[in-house]
Amino acid sequence: MLFQSNQLPGALEHEEGSSAAQPVMNQPSLKQKLLRLGMGAMVSFLMVQSCFAAQHVISLTAEETRDDGFGNKLLAYKMVSHHIDGHNVTDRYSPDATIPGPTIELTEGDKVKISIFNAIPNNNVAVAGISKQVSIHVHGVHYNILSDGTLKVINQVDDEGAGAGLVQTYSVYEYEWDVAPGTAGTWAYHDHNFETHNGSEHRGLFGAIIVNPVGGPTFAREYVLYLGDDAFWGMEIVGHTKKQTKHGPNPTLSAKAGTRVRFHLIALGTDIHTFRLNGYQWFDPGTNNLISQVAIGPLEKHVFSVKALQDAQYVDTNLTNRLLGMRGKFDVQ
Amino acid sequence: MFNKIENKHLIDKDSAMNNKNSSGTRKQALMILFFVATFLTSAIAFAAVHSFNLTATTLPNGQLAYALGANEAVIPGPALFVKEGDTLKVSLKNDTSAAVSFKVPGLSVANPAKVNPGQTKNFTVQASKAGTYVYHGDMNGKELLGLFGALVVDKATGPVDRYVEDNGKIVSVSRNNIDKQFVLFMVGSTFWGTEVAADGTQKPLWANPHPGAVENDIVRFHILSIGPGHTFHLHAHRWLKKDTQEVIDTKLLAEGTDTHSFTIKAGTGVGAGAWQYHCHLIAHMEAGMHGNFKVEALGGTGTSVVGASPYGRILLGPKDEPGLVTFEVSDEPASWFRSARGDAIVELSKPSATGSPLQGADIKTKSLDVIVPGSSVNFIMSDTNGVHTISSLLWPSGAEHMPYDQSSAYRGGGFVTLHTPGLYVFTCKVHPYMFGAVIVDDPATEGLDLGNPARNFTIDLVTGIKDLPTSSDLAVRLLKTFFIATAPDNWQDYSSGLWNVRFPTLPVRISGAPFGNVQDGGLAAPLSILNVNNQALTVGAAPATPGVGEVWVNTQFEKTAGKYKPGTSTVVDTTTWKVKRKVALPQINNNNPHNMWSSRDQSVIYQTQWFDNKFSMIDRETGSLIKNITVGYSPSHVVTLPTNDDITIAVNGENGVMVIPAGTTNVTKMMPTQAQGHISANPHGHWISADGKKIVTPNINTDDIGIYGANGGIQARTPTGNNAPGAHPIAIGMMPDSSKIYAANLLHHSMTVLNGNNGALLKTINLIADYNPIDGTFADNDANGEIAVGVLPIQSPVSPDGKAVVVAATGGQIVIIDTATDEIVKMLPCDPGCHGANFGAKAGGGYYAYVTTKFGNRLTVVDIDPDNNGNISDAAIAGYVSLVDDVNTAKDDNVSGLPGFGGQGVLAVPNVYNGWVQNVPEIWALTDKQRSPIGK
């Protein structure tokens, strides 16, 4: 399977909506293949599976955002649409490009088709030696080499992103993820292609997926906190509506007293951090050990739940991060 | 051959198990007997004693490595596989030139003594607990050059690991399930690999290899680290975090030594592919810390691709394989990027080195190495307490992988493969006189290639200059700067009376016809035609008129006997122009003291340690230490707030200005120099407005001037250098009425003038307008009536009366700018590496500018207005002061080398700048005008 659409050699010269912009599927999709097979047994097997395993169709853009007032901008992902088995759940996300990007909730067994469109200005014109692509490189779940979200110089196959790459230009690039059993957990996704083969995750192009086990516990609130080099970048998700709010640096997180809430920590950048939620303890993931602080390095994840009991501060205790004010409130009412 | 021994252990025990399934009754009976016997004597039966004969040796590229028995020495060292309860007897022979040891953090090692060069000693290690351990040479950082290896202790019985199947099932793994193992050491910003085949055979994969496997192979990885921390990430694979049920794909390896072993089924659920593995710290990714795990489809060979080898294609390298040279990043003066074989190259190139292939090449620098196209360069921050970048300054025109750079300063190293022939010079953006150079030489051309042979031997500069002929005067000047800065033998030692500069006698290939100073030899001439021979050096007379008080000079390179990091403060008495005191602070291993300020009552000197993360407070009258304080990395400048005497420290290696409230010794906050999430500004030489309302920083990483409130808050960010890349604003001066800001742009050779209130750009003063970079001629091209040039400007304070800006330019000039017109009015000579400038009071009225130099050891005193008529066009050098100590100099340590060298930060006491001078105690005889520089 190839996932990229709009395969265009060299610079992109077409207008939106012109015939050149129509997706050109190089090979039939999985769905198409299955229809051609037309094997009843196979289809019914899939339908049984689909009772639990959802099909996600997701579309993201990458945009410029957060001008510092002096013309310097960050980059961010924005949710354009998210359908689960055809059901539109886009309204759970911010309508804006946010840092961190949209948190995508999935369940073990799900399948995902996720496409990226590059809305950063001037990125579809090839520049020798510099990639203008944005990509989605995801951690944790299964995907084949065409969904790695890296440049050909790394994956040896293709420039797997949207925009002008080093050897290939795509206006939209689509990835397929197999949220296979065994991938439960919280994982980062981030750019791997913008400007260099390392990408621009440190300029804002990062988000998280939460893969829940089938029948796993639910939480009143979920908090995604990315530990950057000078701030926590976070968001709050209401458990039952999955509505995502409070995006940005060092957000004040809220919870109702007595409810169970879950923190999803991921670090990113160059610093290694020490995280504390003052006054709280939690289980070190995958163990029965209670801990009150954790060392976390870039792109590690650390997920824990606590019962919200009292107001607290979440902090990074490392010298420079602490002095820069890397902390926020955990507001329990 | 310990692998054979190790395999024998395995076979002895496992063959018994295997036979059970395939043999007859008689054999089973024997087996039962065997099991009974082993059960009864289990502890003894399973606890093996392993003997390892290791030799620590030096590799062809100068790196260090362990050899096992008669095998080739390898990095990482031989992987040692034992079982829990076993004992290791290690005999360590030391064939290196430094003392080594054998340390295994986490396990007890009997006889942890040092082995001196030439000696052999025995160590006994008890493998008391299963796990993966680092063993290393314990050499105070030198072990990062290659004396590290893996010791894998598996449980005596049962499975050794688990892996996650494509369907999520967790599968136990025993030793004989494993198809291959990879040891990957994360060191600096480089991976060092070894492949261990199923039969135990080990193969070095060297630096940043591409380990290979076939789909569904069971592959065990041993990730280890030594030095600064990392996170290890492998694309598209998951594994279990040790001792937990947690599935992960990224793992922290903490600072110091750390390990993480895991097992995967290659390509499970994801298929074949070139799956990248890398450190996930952004700066390390940018520094090249990555490779591919090549998973081939069934039927493939799964062969690994070996990385760059210390035995490979480098100057005098013995093997025909991709080679590697390594530079140690160091706090040591001149050797900031020191080739691991730099000492050897200097020795081998001496005229007296009979039999050496380099005899007579006369290479004085340790910061130059030579490779063949396709070989690689490795950097390791093994001898520094600061943070750095490893950044291209110049490279052959159009060269692949250039410019090489990182988006922030960090601790680690770097790795880059170079294909295009020519000269590559690397620097640190935080410490921009740290230089390392690599010549990638095409063996087919005559002489060493300095530029790209495919493009007429031209070079590109980081500041945007393209296709500069290597025959040009600018290129030759840059080359001379490199050979002077990196070789103390080439510095101007006024205490010796003579100056010699010696360049290598190696012929070099430059562009077109020779130009400028390169006269001889046609297209390929030896660099040594640029030599300076026995030029007389005299300090010169001291100023006729005394100054007021003291001048503190950070002689940052001066070495003393009681510490191993360089640097002192040299205190000059301006009434006698004698060195009255040296402050070395051996008790804190004072490291590269760079810049100073004084407390309001002038009783305490505040001192930054630029290659460290320390800031010290010194009693001015006694030179004794008050307190050594941990601050951010690479603190550069310190200035007090004139309003409340709070201390502000520019943290050059990080992203803000730290504050220590007056009268205290604790940092209470760090004011960010950029909005959250934005590229770190890395401020260097900041200044504060006389009214104490604005903190102004030159942001070296973002090429702009930042204006911040006294309590934080970004008021303006103004780009400098006409938006040229890498302008590198480095120091700020301000008008006494705060009306204008002056910033020196080191690599843009210009001064930026800003409105002091809103940061609006008023003017960019080109300091090299009068210079022709191609032929080296000088003319009054900017028609200001003076032929004046300031190459690589650094400190640039405004005189306390607001009349003059004095610019110390590294190229060896002092440029005077009239603030009334913002035109250059004068150029005065300075010594090589001219760096610091600051004003103090002249006795009876007026001001001296004190100017320091890194590669000379005298202080230049400039009188900006000798006739005191307000017109500064008669600015002149008033005199010189030797910074070398004498018998009357008080000191806390004995000078042992580089006397008086490394002049950088300079501070006059009393502080006579408007805003501060008003608080100076009456003990100094200042004139009324000096006490109110711009009126009351």
Question: What fold does the segment set B550-931 form as a domain?
Answer: Methylamine Dehydrogenase; Chain H (2.130.10)
B249, B269, B651: residue with CB nearest A139:
B249
pLDDT of B5 reads 34
Count of C-beta atoms within a 10 Å radius of residue B555: 33
Residue A10 has pLDDT above 80, yes or no: no
Q: B714, A68: Cβ pair inside 8 Å? A: yes
A108, A180, A185: residue with CB nearest B166:
A180
Question: Which of B281, B708, B761 is most worth mutating to test chain A (most A CB atoms within 10 A of its CB)?
Answer: B281
Which residue of chain A is at minimal alpha-carbon distance from B296? Answer: A145
Measured between alpha carbons, how far is A228 from A202 in angstroms, rounded to an integer? 8
Which residue of chain B is at minimal alpha-carbon distance from A180? Answer: B167
Closest CA to B755 of B778, B776, B779, B738: B738
Q: Where are the domains of chain B?
A: 1-46, 48-156, 158-307, 324-536, 550-931
The CA distances from residue A323 to A146, B326, B670, B671, B905, in Å, are: 43, 36, 5, 8, 26
Cβ–Cβ pairs < 8 A, chains A and B: 190
- Averaged pLDDT for residues A313-326: 96
* CA A266 centroid distance within chain: 11
Count of C-beta atoms within a 10 Å radius of residue B73: 23
Q: What residues contact residue B695 under an 8 Å CB cut-off, 6+ apart? A: B639, B648, B657, B671, B686, B687, B688, B707, B708, B709, B710
Cβ atoms of residues B878 and B864 within 8 Å? no
Q: Comparing B48-156 with B158-307, is the CATH topology the same? A: yes
Amino acid at B933: P
Beta strands in B211-315 (DSSP E): 212-214, 218-227, 230-234, 239-240, 247-248, 250-253, 256-265, 273-279, 290-296
Q: A319, B630: Cβ pair inside 8 Å? A: yes
| ipTM for this prediction | 0.92
Closest CA to B750 of B709, B698, B706: B698
Q: Give the CATH number of domain B48-156; options: 3.40.50.670, 2.60.40.420, 3.30.420.40, 3.40.50.970.
A: 2.60.40.420
Cβ atoms of residues B823 and B811 within 8 Å? no
Question: Which of A153, A209, A293, A299 is most worth mutating to test chain B (most B CB atoms within 10 A of its CB)?
Answer: A299
Which residue of chain A is at minimal alpha-carbon distance from B409? Answer: A270
Note if the pTM is more than 0.90.
Answer: yes
Residues in chain A with CB shorter than 8 Å from the CB of B273 are 144-145, 148, 155-157
DSSP state string for B519-554: -SSTTEEEGGGG-EEEEE----PPPSS-BSSEEEEE
Question: Phi, psi (5° rounding) for residue B101?
Answer: -140, -170
Q: Is it true that domain A217-333 has CATH number 2.60.40.420?
A: yes
Question: Which of B170, B208, B242, B249 is most worth mutating to test chain A (most A CB atoms within 10 A of its CB)?
Answer: B249
CATH placement of domain B158-307: 2.60.40.420
Please identify among residues 296-325 of chain A the ones whose CB lies closer than 8 Å to any CB of chain B: 296-301, 319-320, 323-325
Measured between alpha carbons, how far is A63 from A65 in angstroms, rounded to an integer? 6
pLDDT of A125 reads 85
Closest CA to B789 of B799, B798, B781, B800: B781
Taking 70 as the pLDDT cut, the residues of chain B under it are 1-46, 112, 513-524, 936
Q: In what order do the strands lie in the sheet with B604-609?
A: B593-598, B604-609, B614-619, B625-630
Q: Which residues of A275-311 are buried (b: 16+ CB within 10 A; e: fewer)?
A: bbbeebebebbbeeeeeeebbbbbbbbbbbbbebeee
Which residue of chain B is at minimal alpha-carbon distance from A303? Answer: B246
Q: A99, B229: Cβ pair inside 8 Å? A: no
Measured between alpha carbons, how far is A198 from B756 in angstroms, rounded to an integer? 39
Q: Give the architecture (CATH level 2) of B324-536.
A: Sandwich (2.60)
Which residue of chain B is at minimal alpha-carbon distance from A206? Answer: B677
pLDDT of A158 reads 97
Q: What residues contact residue B377 under an 8 Å CB cut-off, 6+ apart? A: B324, B325, B326, B327, B369, B371, B414, B415, B416, B417, B418, B424, B438
Establish if A214 touches chain B: CB-CB under 8 angstroms: no
pLDDT of B528 reads 87
Establish if A122 touches chain B: CB-CB under 8 angstroms: no
pLDDT of B513 reads 55
Q: Read off the pLDDT band of A126 (50, 70, 90).
A: confident
Tens digits of residue pLDDT in A206-253:
999 999 999 999 999 999 999 999 999 999 999 999 999 999 999 999
Establish if A77 touches chain B: CB-CB under 8 angstroms: no
The CA distances from residue B409 to B618, B680, B681, in Å, are: 28, 9, 10
Q: Read off the pLDDT band of A21 (50, 70, 90).
A: very low
